Structure 1
Amino acid sequence: MASEYQMKTMLKELTDARGIPGDEKEPRQVMEKWIQPYADKVYTDHLGSLIAEKSGEENGPKVMVAGHLDEVGFMVTKIDDKGFVYFQTVGGWWSQVMLAQRVTLLTKKGDVTGVIGSKPPHILSPEARKKPVEIKDMFIDIGATSREEAQEFGVRPGDSVVPYFEFTPLKNEKLLLAKAWDNRIGCAIAIEVLKRLQEEKHPNVVYGVATVQEEVGLRGAKTATHSIQPDIGFAVDVGIAGDTPGISSKDADSKIGDGPQIILYDASMVSHKGLRDFVIDTADEKNIPYQYATMAGGGTDSGSIHVTAEGVPALSITVPTRYIHTHAAILHQDDFEHAVQMLVEVIKKLDKDTVETITFS
């Protein structure tokens, strides 16, 4: 029971932390706290990605397991003379999920609460009401009466704006509701993989990595991979769940609770066939459930990992998640557990000969 409580505490602290691309300090501190006990050393690259290194065998293959620290959010661009705050999206947002949502502005003087607003529908023409409000027509109301008052609150251009939401297990306690599952669940997987490898013999050097700036172009994965020079790379992230009303199996057929997703193809990479087959064979052998998924748009840190230096065999393993890139997403704890189990079993089987076979298969 203690370990279940500890797990939920870790997931809450990771998802409640605030960190948009370029301002990942809070989640990085949480990540370091939880992964430090299981690592030989922990350090950051110059862009801010956190790297935790754990040796099985000192000169064994280097295996990178990377989640990303950042979440989608906003940045203050200007304050008007009435004290309303205008912003830039940082990462991908759909305008329909933004209006009337609570946000937190992280300022030099502390947190400032706001709500995203727009012109009310009551004064719009019937034609205008039928159209979604464009992001450029939205603003953040922080309760200031003037530009000067907003500045007194500490608000200035460049400040991070983060969705506000608290980690909440649903009535079915395996279903977990939180902001920033994209991609604090990947960070949690990296932590848990290192933790479980404490008790296991394996012939590798494993790197649990939390990258920065994934949502704006897989940027931290570039620098972290250059720093590590891994032999094998895994990106662990969220994927699309297709089990809500209105989604056909042609669009997305993964269900939460049915296992992690093996990504075959996305817009950033064609998954490495040798590594993909090795992971699938291992999962089958150990009776670990999984699902296949493809994404015509979007990508994960594997997109940067696999083209670093001379190339890195890489694969994305994702947790199917509902309502990503919104204030509140839902995933299933069993999918998290099975993603960890899959990676641990794969790492235990990897050695120099196996890595060479995978690389050239």
Structure 2
Amino acid sequence: MDRTEQFLKELTETPGVSGYESQVRALMRRYLEPVATIAQDRIGSIIGKRVGQSKSPRVMLVGHMDEIGFMVRHITKEGFIKFQPLGGWWDQVLLGQRVTLKTCQGDVTGIIGAKPPHLLPKDERDKVVEKKDMYIDIGATSKEEVAEAGVRVGDPIIPVSEFTVLANPQTYMAKALDNRVGCALAVQALERLAQDQHPNTLYAVGTVMEEVGLRGAKTTAHVVEPDVAIVLEVDICGDVPGIKDEESAVKLGAGPSMLVFDARMIPNLKLRDLVIATAEELEIPLQFSSMSGGATDGGMVHLHNEGVPAVVIGVPTRHIHSHAAIMHRQDYDRALDLIVALVKKLDESTVKDLVI
């Protein structure tokens, strides 16, 4: 296991659902402190600053720390836990999955359940169970037992899924790849550039609460006051059964991607073209993606003050927003090379010229 693989393992196995990112922040701080000056906003996002050959332009690399998860919403008198989703969950992926409740007395393990199919009439058996009808079972038989275990309303609930190297050793499966991949890219890009020259001041930012409304992106933009932003994300693979190329042509292992459209942002066109040109120079295959049903931290950052030229670079990932997603290491490494090369080009005159 090399350093990058170890870093991804640590990041993905660290719990940090939206609003509860402190352990992820501590891990990012540990990696950033040797190479950056550390700051935080007042809602928990972390910012690593590295001054290069010039104080300006200010280049912001953004990855969100939070993963999707749940929160304890209600405890029934029989000892079952009703939950509030944090982020977008698809009902089909939930039943039978293990979860960890982070309580004042330590971790408590549970499983997501629903009314047994054996007791359902046939017409109900064929329907998808909705989240509102599910519960978490920790093996308790009363509300009092749940309280004795330390579980309280408001406690965070984290999916259980360890980092796993798959049969192809270049592919990794883990929870929270969305978006610990972006956090890792931001940190490792700054680490690489700390050993080299860059004509700007670089900020590696881990934001909070992206999955519930791009909240940390808004506050960190006020702290950094970026002149240009590169949002680092996972991207949705379209190479699984049932998806046509016209819906998504993004494939695992075929290179990093660039988002040309999402529900909250169209990238700066000159910055988009600079990404394309840089990928071509490095002979990095670049895939193109659009997403009409979602957004990234760029949706908030690019509207800061008078506006910030921004673009999203992604690592193609299968099965995001579930207990376990799959990424390809080569896509990650190529994305990192592309980001580092791009930052080196972002001098004062280049960034000024990005304004359309």
Matches within 5 A, 1:1-361: 5-39=2-36, 41-360=37-356
- 1:282-330 CA-to-partner distances (Å, cap 9, x unmatched) read 1111212210000011011100110011110000111110000000000
Distance in 1 between the 2:233 and 2:300 partners?
A: 14
The worse-fitting range, judged by mean Cα deviation, of 49-58 and 83-92 is: 49-58
Q: Is the contact made by 1:275 and 1:359 (CA closer than 8 Å) also made in structure 2?
A: no
**Residue 57 of structure 1, CA deviation:** 2.3
The TM-score with structure 1 as length reference comes to 0.97
Deviation, structure 1 residue 38: 2.0
CA deviation digits over 1:171-224, x for unaligned, max 9?
A: 111100000000000000001101110222111100000000000111100000
Point out 4+ residue stretches in structure 1 off by more than 4 angstroms. none
Aligned-residue offset at 1:235:
0.8
More displaced, 131-140 or 285-294?
A: 285-294
Q: Distance in 2 between matches of 1:43 and 1:58?
A: 20
**Any idea what SS the aligned residue of 1:359 has?**
coil
Where in structure 2 are there 5+ consecutive unaligned residues?
none
Distance between the aligned counterparts of 1:333 and 1:162, measured in 2? 25
TM-score (norm 2): 0.99
Distance 2:256 2:302 in 1: 21
Mapped to 1, the partners of 2:225 and 2:194 lie a distance apart of: 23
CA distance in 2, matches of 1:185, 1:86: 30
Counterpart Cα distance in 1 of 2:170 and 2:40: 33
Secondary structure of the residue aligned to 1:43 is strand
How far apart are 1:270 and its partner, in Å? 1.0
**Whole-angstrom distance in 2 between the partners of 1:276 and 1:32:** 30
The alignment of Structure 1 onto Structure 2 pairs a total of residues equal to 356
Distance 1:277 1:64 in 2: 18
* Structure 1: segments with no counterpart, 5+ residues: none
Contact 1:200 1:348 in 2 (8 A): no
Distance 1:251 1:142 in 2: 40
Task: Determine the C-alpha separation between the residues in 2 that align with 1:223 and 1:321.
Answer: 28
* Amino acid of the structure 1 residue aligned with 2:32: I
Render the CA deviation track for 1:80-108: whole Å, top value 9, x for unaligned.
11111111101000000000000000001
**Contact 1:278 1:358 survives alignment (8 Å):** no
Instruction: Read off the aligned partner of 2:259 and give its amino acid letter.
Output: I
What is the CA–CA distance in structure 1 between the aligned matches of 2:107 and 2:86, rounded to whole Å? 19
1:96-135 Cα deviation digits (max 9, x unpaired): 0000000000001110000000001111111001110011
- The whole-number CA distance in structure 2 between the counterparts of 1:283 and 1:36 is 30
User: What is the percent sequence identity of the aligned residues?
Assistant: 50
Q: Hey, what's the Cα distance between the residues in 2 that align with 1:349 and 1:286?
A: 13
Q: Residue type matched to 1:266 in 2? A: D
Moved more, 215-224 or 25-34: 25-34
Separation (CA, whole Å) in 1 of partners of 2:42 and 2:53: 27
Q: What is the SS of the residue equivalent to 2:239?
A: coil
